[in-house]
Structure formats: C-alpha cells, structure tokens
Amino acid sequence: MDDSTQALTTETFAAEREWTVDGIPVLTAKLFLPRPAERCGRTARRIDRFYQLQGKSYLRYCEGWLFPQAAAEFRQALAGSGVLPCHRAELTYCVTCSECGVWSVRTQMLETAGARRTLMQRGDTWNLFTGWPIPLADCFPRHFPIRRTLLKTAEEDIRRQESSGTAAYHEAWRQELRRTYNRENFYLAPDGLRFFWQMNAVAPSAEGVPTFSLPFSDGGCRWPVPAGRS
C-alpha cells in the first residue's frame, strides 16, 4: 500500500485457542482482526503491527485472566455434580469508514459463560497519510466544547429512547454519563461521528453498548482532514 493512499483494503486475520482442565475444554477463544491486504508501505505495516499486537494481548488476557476463572467454575461444578460450564471469548471487528485518507474500525470483545454475557468495545481511527491515530479533537474546530456537545447529544437521544420505550437506562444515567465519559470511545462512519459508553456504564447489560451519533456539520462536528496529505 502506498503511504498516500486514500483508502485501506483489508483482509481478516483469524486465530483460535482452547484451554482445558483434565482434557475437557473450559475456555475457547476466537479472534478476527483486520490486516491490510498490501503490507509494503509504512502506514500499512504500522496498522498491521497494531492489530497483531492487539490479538496477542487478547490471547494473553484470555489465558491469564479468563482461563483461571473458567477453570475454577469448572472444578466447582464438577465437585457439586452440576452442569459443566464452557466459557467462550471472541474478539471481532467492523471497518466503519475507509475513504479520503481516513480509516476507522470498531472492535468488540464478547465473553459468555452460561447466561452471563459481557461486551466491551473500542474504536480506532487512523490517518492513512501519516499512519498515526486521529484524535477526537480533529473532528471539531479548535477550542470547541467537545465534551459538553457529546453529553448533550447523548442526553437528548436517551430522553427520546426512554419516551418511546425503545431502551431503558439506569435511574442515575445523567450522573453516570458524566462520570464515565471517555473521549477515546469513538469511531467514524461516512456520515458522522459515533461515540459510546461501555456496557453497564449508563444502562442495564441488556442494552449492550449504548452508541450515539453526531452527523458531520451538526453541532460543529466535521470530517477530519488528515495531516500529511501530499
């Protein structure tokens, strides 16, 4: 891929691991992550290294954190003649935007153990001309009240959802929005900014990861013009 490309073509890198206790699987992990189809340029190599490292880190997390929990639950169920659990973990991705020198991707980590379900999400947006991440501030004018604007947008959307009965939030969601706000939790789509709160932060787990939208040119939001364009 040439470093001045305006879009990024990707393929999927997949891996799977299994952990056992006494030969019986107690945890299975799968990951699906993006890889640039052409990895000859600086930007492509940098992005490829990032997601390869993310994949390795995820498998270490599964082995060092999830596996001990799964093994303990398995032994407890075995001792009590209960149903033997098998935990599952999966890391997946979705490219949400790839145009005009900007490449954005959403990754999700899903963990299931019986009826328990945990979902974590992250967003990454890249400048294809420099190979570096694009910060949230690049989507707004200088000195723009970003936090206040995003909180107001989320509040208005939550009120509409609650009024229409399409979603339910915690009783103290207004305070939780402010307390758990994270400026890193965003990604881009061709029509605007998507920003989100993690599962359980402002709503019951059944609501998943609450995600809100701010269209470009609405409320000061704009398409980030990547630096480094030749």
Three-state secondary-structure class, residue 224: coil
Could you report the per-residue pLDDT of 133-191, keeping only the tens digit for each?
A: 999 999 999 999 999 999 999 999 999 999 999 999 999 999 999 999 999 999 999 99
**CATH code of domain 135-223:** 3.90.640.20
For residue 18, how many other CB atoms are within 10 A of its CB? 11
What is the CA 82 to chain-centroid distance, rounded? 35
Considering only 2-11, 72-81, 96-105, which range has the smallest mean pLDDT?
2-11
CATH number attached to the domain at 1-134 = 3.30.565.40
* pLDDT attached to residue 228: 57
Tell whether the model's pLDDT for residue 83 goes beyond 90. Answer: no
Question: Residue 186 half-sphere exposure, CB side, CA atoms within 13 Å?
Answer: 25
Per-residue pLDDT averaged across 75-101, rounded? 92
pTM as predicted = 0.91
Per domain, the residue ranges of the chain are 1-134, 135-223
Higher per-residue pLDDT: 70 or 229: 70
Q: What is residue 196's predicted lDDT score, i.e. its pLDDT? A: 98
Would you say the C-alpha torsion 95, 120, 195, 213 has a positive or negative sign?
A: positive
Looking at the predicted structure, is the pLDDT value of residue 69 above 80?
A: yes
Give 43-54 pLDDT, tens digit per residue.
Answer: 999 999 999 999
User: Residue 21 pLDDT more than 80?
Assistant: yes
pLDDT tens digits, residue range 1-19? Answer: 444 468 899 999 999 999 9
Is 80 exceeded by the pLDDT of residue 226? no
